[in-house]
């Protein structure tokens, strides 16, 4: 990406000035602001999505302002009439919060050239899903000789004191609990069986990490040998030489839609639409699917390849068959009660 | 500007010089704090209905009170460890030659020169199953299976004590440096033993440093979000993580605000206990 120091400084100064004097920002006065996530997301978007967008839109000015979903929501909420962000990126839980608080515009589906090519689960009228996050079983192949095949393997006596999980603060932790509940006859509305299963898992639990990132590092320390894990995070660890493998359990890998939204009252509505279109193109999704990013595509025109084809799915049909999508509307209704219950019950 | 009038009292200063900082604090500390208080006085997450519901919820819930209690206890444990380990270092510092003094001050300051995150990760490596402690004990044949050190209260206390140690040692070094060494000699020549000299002379006179060190360490230990969550893990809940969970994951800002205010008041209460002790100690030192 061509971004020299001067243009960066100008952008920074402009943004800074707009922060200090909100009256300055009238329509089109500022570049398009895309609030992506921090870390590997930011790297991937800076390297692939931004150049693709600028190439297709006559070098239109845009900046990445990486932050957590909650911060995006808080910032837009604080200035609803004149939001400092044009495009938001969300996990399923926060996406519903943003929609519920009336912070996003419906996606102009009829104008979109790529929306209809997305697989059905990714077609969200309030903001499509350009990427999937996939959660499956992660294990250390040096310690676990027979690869696990099912979530139920976590309860095997041989993993006594070797299992790691995260608490329910993360999408991963909450989604996993729901899946465990389903395995034992529960559902998004009834996670009781999941909590019972957690109780039985206690002898095996070596660690309850505060977040998925901290969970991944526990493999490096030999603190745990097996855990639920995020496909992307594991690939990053693996690339750095940590002995970890990812496997989709036979119950299905949990897929989270990462959705992208046009912020309501955005002064850059048209460019925001163009950026999202760029994220939906088969070209961008194909590049992001290849190493080092390994992000699961949602456009059915993308031919699956590499590690994703090997471990997850060879094509859209297999993907639909192997992925499990959850009803986050239901999950959000009770999530706070579950977090409270997890706080109280899970002490090891 | 001309010279100040000769009649002006040189020991008095105008408050004008403090105005920029005062303004800064007013804008970026007092105003947000008031906003927090305002937010905490609402019963619903949207912040439309006034009420004390959030406070009632916290103060009548044994679980929440337990989190507050364990956080305050954690602070006390860390402070005690820092005091017990830090005092001898500060005492030693006043009694060695300049070369050793440089080395001691370097060792004390070294932790401050690396980021808290780096120091905390180092502790994960030390306390882990294949970490330094477990590997050493296992090679010595003391234990067969690795001890669980990471994700325990013990681990958090030890890691926090190391991370916050400079905050205790530096005030102690200053306080002990102010004590006239002749007082020790006088006490000894009047027949007091070394322990008696320590408890009757050195300790009381160093109390201002002890109080300052304890206050700083305590405040830093209970609010150390990074170390608490990385070494303590996800199932050990302390106030900063509780607050984060409510605000960030659950979007329950009024309850998070109430937690902050309660936490703030609890910390203020503890700090004022320290200060009262300090005031009382002055009388003791003079006796």
Note whether residue A143 is domain-resident.
yes
Q: Mean pLDDT across the stretch A52-59?
A: 92
What are the φ and ψ backbone dihedral angles of B47, each rounded to 5 degrees? 75, 40
| Tokens representing residue B273 in the block | 């206990």
Residue of B128, B235, B250 lying closest to A223 (CB–CB): B128
For residue A292, is the peptide bond before it cis, meaning its omega torsion is within 30 degrees of 0? yes
Q: Is it true that domain B61-286 has CATH number 3.40.50.720?
A: no
- Percent of chain A having pLDDT more than 70? 91
Measured between beta carbons, the chain A residues lying within 8 angstroms of B241 are 210
Residues A22 and A94 in one domain: yes
What is the tally of structural domains in chain A? 2
Q: Do B233 and A209 touch (CB under 8 A)?
A: yes
User: Is A16 a residue whose pLDDT tops 80?
Assistant: no
- Percent of chain A having pLDDT more than 90? 61
Q: Point out the least confidently predicted range of A128-137, A310-319, B22-31, B158-167.
A: A310-319
Give this prediction's pTM. 0.79
Note whether residue A312 is domain-resident.
no
Q: What is the pLDDT of residue A19?
A: 52
Residues A42 and A124 in one domain: yes
The minimum CA-CA distance between B64 and chain A, rounded to whole Å, is: 10
Q: Mean pLDDT across the stretch A170-199?
A: 94
- Give yes or no for B147 touching A (CB within 8 A): no
Q: What is the pLDDT of residue A25?
A: 45
Note whether residue A155 is domain-resident.
yes
- B95 or A19: which leads in pLDDT: B95
User: Is B72 a residue whose pLDDT tops 90?
Assistant: yes
Q: What is the pLDDT of residue B130?
A: 81
pLDDT tens digits for range A124-177 = 999 999 999 999 999 999 999 999 999 999 999 999 999 999 988 889 999 999
pLDDT tens digits for range A82-104 = 999 999 999 998 999 899 999 99
Residues A245 and A265 in one domain: no
Residue of A70, A221, A340 lying closest to B129 (CB–CB): A221
Measured between beta carbons, the chain A residues lying within 8 angstroms of B234 are 166-167, 169, 173, 207-211, 214
Residue of A173, A336, A347 lying closest to B250 (CB–CB): A336
- Give yes or no for B285 touching A (CB within 8 A): no
User: Is A248 a residue whose pLDDT tops 70?
Assistant: yes
Which one, of A239, A102, A224, A215, lies nearest residue A162 by Cα?
A224
Range of the structural domain that residue A330 is part of: 132-255+326-345
Ranges of beta strands (E only) in chain A are 32-35, 62-64, 87-90, 104-105, 131-139, 163-166, 205-209, 226-230, 245-247, 253-263, 296-297, 323-325
Q: Mean pLDDT across the stretch B206-214?
A: 91
How confident is the prediction for chain A on average, in pLDDT?
Answer: 88
Residues A198 and A332 in one domain: yes
**CATH number reported for the structural domain that contains residue A183 in this entry:** 3.40.190.10
pLDDT tens digits for range B46-61 = 778 898 999 999 999 9
Q: Mean pLDDT across the stretch A193-197?
A: 95
Q: Mean pLDDT across the stretch B243-268?
A: 89
- Give yes or no for B235 touching A (CB within 8 A): yes
SS3 B131: coil
d(CA A244, CA A226): 9
Q: Mean pLDDT across the stretch A341-346?
A: 88
Residues A240 and A279 in one domain: no
Q: Do B229 and A214 touch (CB under 8 A)?
A: yes
Residues A269 and A145 in one domain: no
């Amino acid at each position: 990406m061509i971004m020299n120091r001067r243009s960066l400084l100008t952008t920074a100064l402009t943004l800074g000035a707009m922060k200090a004097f909100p009256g300055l920002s009238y329509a089109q006065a500022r570049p398009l602001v895309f609030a992506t996530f921090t870390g590997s997301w930011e790297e991937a978007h800076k390297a692939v999505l931004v150049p693709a967008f600028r190439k297709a839109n006559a070098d239109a000015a845009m900046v990445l302002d990486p932050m957590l979903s909650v911060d995006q929501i808080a910032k837009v909420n604080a200035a609803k009439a004149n939001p400092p962000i044009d495009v938001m990126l969300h996990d399923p839980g926060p996406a519903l919060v943003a929609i519920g608080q009336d912070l996003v515009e419906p996606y102009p589906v009829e104008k979109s050239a790529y929306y209809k090519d997305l697989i059905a689960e990714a077609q969200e009228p309030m903001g499509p899903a350009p990427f999937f996050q996939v959660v499956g079983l992660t294990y250390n192949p040096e310690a676990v000789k027979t690869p696990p095949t099912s979530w139920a393997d976590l309860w095997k006596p041989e993993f006594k004191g070797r299992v790691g999980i995260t608490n329910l603060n993360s999408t991963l932790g909450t989604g996993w609990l729901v899946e465990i509940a389903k395995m034992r006859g529960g559902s998004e509305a009834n996670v009781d069986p999941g909590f019972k299963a957690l109780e039985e898992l206690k002898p095996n639990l070596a660690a309850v990490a505060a977040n998925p990132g901290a969970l991944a590092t526990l493999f490096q320390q030999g603190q745990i040998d097996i855990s639920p894990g995020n496909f992307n995070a594991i690939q990053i660890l693996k690339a750095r030489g940590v002995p970890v493998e990812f496997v989709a359990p036979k119950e299905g890998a949990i897929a989270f839609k990462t959705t992208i939204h046009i912020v309501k009252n955005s002064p850059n509505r048209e460019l925001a639409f163009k950026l999202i279109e760029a994220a939906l193109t088969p070209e961008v999704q194909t590049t992001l699917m290849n190493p080092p990013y390994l992000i699961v595509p949602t456009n059915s025109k993308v031919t699956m390849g590499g590690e994703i084809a090997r471990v997850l799915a060879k094509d859209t049909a297999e993907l639909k068959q192997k992925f499990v999508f959850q009803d986050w509307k239901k999950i959000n209704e009770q999530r706070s009660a579950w977090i409270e219950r997890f706080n109280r019950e899970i002490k090891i | 500007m001309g010279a100040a009038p000769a009649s002006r009292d040189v020991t008095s200063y105008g408050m004008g010089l403090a105005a920029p900082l005062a303004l800064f604090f007013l804008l970026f500390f007092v105003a947000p704090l008031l906003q927090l208080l305002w937010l905490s006085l609402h019963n619903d997450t949207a912040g439309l209905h006034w009420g004390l519901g959030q406070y009632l919820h916290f103060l009548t819930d044994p679980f929440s009170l337990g989190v507050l209690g364990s956080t305050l206890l954690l602070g006390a444990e860390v402070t005690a460890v820092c005091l017990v380990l830090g005092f001898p270092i500060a005492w030693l510092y006043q009694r060695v030659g300049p070369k050793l003094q440089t080395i001691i001050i370097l060792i004390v300051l070294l932790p401050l020169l690396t980021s808290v995150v780096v120091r905390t990760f180092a502790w994960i490596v030390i306390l882990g199953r294949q970490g330094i402690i477990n590997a050493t004990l296992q090679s010595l044949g003391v234990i067969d299976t690795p001890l669980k050190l990471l994700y325990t209260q013990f681990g958090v206390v030890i890691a926090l004590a190391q991370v916050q140690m400079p905050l205790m040692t530096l005030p102690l070094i200053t306080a002990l440096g102010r004590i006239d060494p002749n007082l020790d000699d006088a006490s000894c020549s009047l027949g007091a033993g070394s322990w008696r000299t320590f408890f009757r002379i050195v300790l009381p006179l160093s109390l201002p440093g002890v109080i300052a060190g304890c206050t700083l360490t305590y405040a830093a230990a209970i609010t150390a979000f990074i170390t608490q969550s990385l070494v303590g893990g996800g199932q050990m809940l302390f106030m900063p993580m509780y607050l984060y969970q409510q605000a960030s994951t659950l979007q329950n800002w009024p309850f998070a605000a109430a937690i902050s205010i309660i936490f703030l008041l609890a910390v203020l209460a503890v700090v004022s206990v320290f200060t009262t002790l300090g005031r009382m100690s002055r009388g003791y030192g003079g006796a």
